[in-house]
A and B are shown apart, each in its own frame.
Chain A
């Protein structure tokens, strides 16, 4: 890049690195522009305007940290954060555990493997809105699972998570897991298939049990697969919105609100852009706080070691 300013005709023997693969670079200009203007520019714009008192239209009326004070003083935001915490930690752990277990079962060379694989992956083809509606009906006590089980004769059966403020988040979790684990299972299965057959033979020769082989040998070898899964699951958690809108609408009361819904509703329904921007900036902060130590460990550590 140091010779970037030199026109190529002055140094015909050493063509500038800037003009190497020129076509590829020209072709990627739209994407670079999009990334800079839309992602970086849009993010910076949002952060800047979160310090203003913008209502329906963006205005540069500076109010300092007022929007943030109001945000953290709002019950609804606190509830949203707590819900995301519960949903996020449960979804992260359960998706990995269930996804890996299903993949390990399929990997034992069972019959009809492809049929099971298709069944488990199918929910992922549905949009969250459809998933939310379907599970709203399944969990509806009037005509869903509860009434079916009662119809079989178990009259006292109670299973009504989404109408109870204390359990509604687990109702969402069930739907989220149903949709999300299939994909993770497929990624895990691909990872398992990538493990050399000789590893298994060596483990068998050494007399290590199957479960122990998985936990001690195979899982550490699948580190990149787990990282990919973590990123996919985490991004799904932080953007949780449409499932809530379709399944509970944030109710009963405010008990299933999530941060993304707060952002959208304050930006467009309450016509208070400043407040919505402050909330989305906080969401960005939470992602950055998780990402930076991880990136440091992942990339910085390797350079040193």
Chain B
């Protein structure tokens, strides 16, 4: 009940982001009025103030859950240790809540010194409008091109040959999490891949267990769709559709198999009446559901519930079929600032975030994979080691954020929400999906 309340509060925060939007328009209007009155554009008072020694930098992000807050404090400690000051600008709620606030502050002329965003196409237009600091010189000095692994991460920070963001971690979505308790209860062996999982579902159902936990939100359903696609259709077809936007492949037999598999998964998830992803994870933790398709951040929930990998739960990257992970994740962007002192400090912070010690301490706390392959992560747990192994073998794909615009992503999420919660046929869903891919920009 309390947990549910907390989760609902997050949704309330969405409504409150409306307040942020209002602030944006008010700021915009007041700027217009000021220009009219004084005939000159006044620079809005910046939140970043240069202190006597060191520089204060305000950093916005949406890492507010327990493990996330711990991880971000590693950044803050490292930055404060350099004699500068980290002003924490955490925004409660998820990225969907925080991003509009962050973007409206940058557009409204009140930029923070640095901000988290998912690297990829989210900041594309801000960069084109000249609102983001060019970090190419820092990147060259730090030889980012050599150390960032996989290199695709740096590519998504690059526009027209210039680098605009620092990738800090990798989060992949292609994981299935299995409950040992549920399988013991049903008296069947743990599946080793997606096909075995589907085959074991009737036994789970016979034991009164929900085979697949699924939060009824578009992004989770889209995530599950993406994971099943890579497992069933393989990476070639996936790449052709998502990266090259080839609608013919999306109409082809590989994707027919995908949509049938998803329609099947939809039946396995019937009766999963939870909304948030962590409520669905909780069904797996308590053994009420056999499995969940969710990104590697689900590990945090298992850790909080004192579950041990290999004893209480297992994870299968790439659903056990295709050992690949996507390279979504978080990156820091630095909005352009007039003060040369602040600009110098922004570049210093950029270099710090990707330094080896900070990468290790941050990613261990966050449960995510580091962006450089040359550091020691031996203290990571089993699931993270599996992920690191796949990264080292080069089994990587660009994430949806890196390939598709927010607009197309939203439309696909809407389609998946409709497909998973209703009775839409696999063929209809495939055709709508192909149409979205055809129209994607």
Q: Chain A interface (Cβ within 8 Å of chain B)?
A: 37-38, 55-57, 70, 74-76, 129, 133, 136, 141, 143, 163, 165, 241-242, 245-246, 249-255, 264-266, 268-272, 275
With contacts A251-B216, A251-B417, A252-B216 known, is A270 near B15, CB below 8 A? no
B421 engages A246 (CB within 8 Å): no
- Closest approach, in angstroms, between the C-beta of B34 and any C-beta of chain A? 14
CB contacts between A and B, total, < 8 Å: 94
B18 engages A56 (CB within 8 Å): no
19 example contacts (A-B, Cβ-Cβ < 8 A) are as follows A55-B407, A56-B124, A56-B406, A75-B415, A242-B18, A246-B8, A249-B11, A251-B275, A253-B216, A253-B418, A254-B414, A254-B417, A255-B422, A264-B21, A265-B410, A269-B99, A269-B406, A272-B410, A275-B407
Chain B residues, CB < 8 A from A57: 107, 125-126, 129
B12 engages A129 (CB within 8 Å): yes
Q: Chain B interface (Cβ within 8 Å of chain A)?
A: 1, 8, 11-12, 14-15, 17-18, 21, 29, 96, 99-100, 103, 107, 122, 124-126, 129, 216-217, 273, 275, 405-407, 409-411, 414-415, 417-418, 420-422, 432, 439
A56 engages B275 (CB within 8 Å): no
Complex CA distance for A252 and B405, rounded to whole angstroms:
25
Chain A residues, CB < 8 A from B103: 56, 268
B14 engages A245 (CB within 8 Å): yes
Complex CA distance for A252 and B417, rounded to whole angstroms:
8
Across the interface, A270 reaches (CB within 8 A) one of B11, B12, B407, B439, namely B407
Complex CA distance for A255 and B15, rounded to whole angstroms:
19
Chain B residues, CB < 8 A from A76: 414, 418
Chain A residues, CB < 8 A from B406: 56, 269-272
Complex CA distance for A75 and B407, rounded to whole angstroms:
15
B411 engages A270 (CB within 8 Å): yes
A245 engages B100 (CB within 8 Å): no
Chain B residues, CB < 8 A from A55: 125, 405, 407
- Closest approach, in angstroms, between the C-beta of B278 and any C-beta of chain A? 15
- Closest approach, in angstroms, between the C-beta of B388 and any C-beta of chain A? 32
B405 engages A242 (CB within 8 Å): no
B405 engages A245 (CB within 8 Å): no
Complex CA distance for A143 and B273, rounded to whole angstroms:
13
B422 engages A165 (CB within 8 Å): yes
- Closest approach, in angstroms, between the C-beta of B285 and any C-beta of chain A? 17
A136 engages B8 (CB within 8 Å): yes
Chain A residues, CB < 8 A from B273: 141, 163
B107 engages A246 (CB within 8 Å): no
Complex CA distance for A271 and B276, rounded to whole angstroms:
23
A38 engages B15 (CB within 8 Å): no
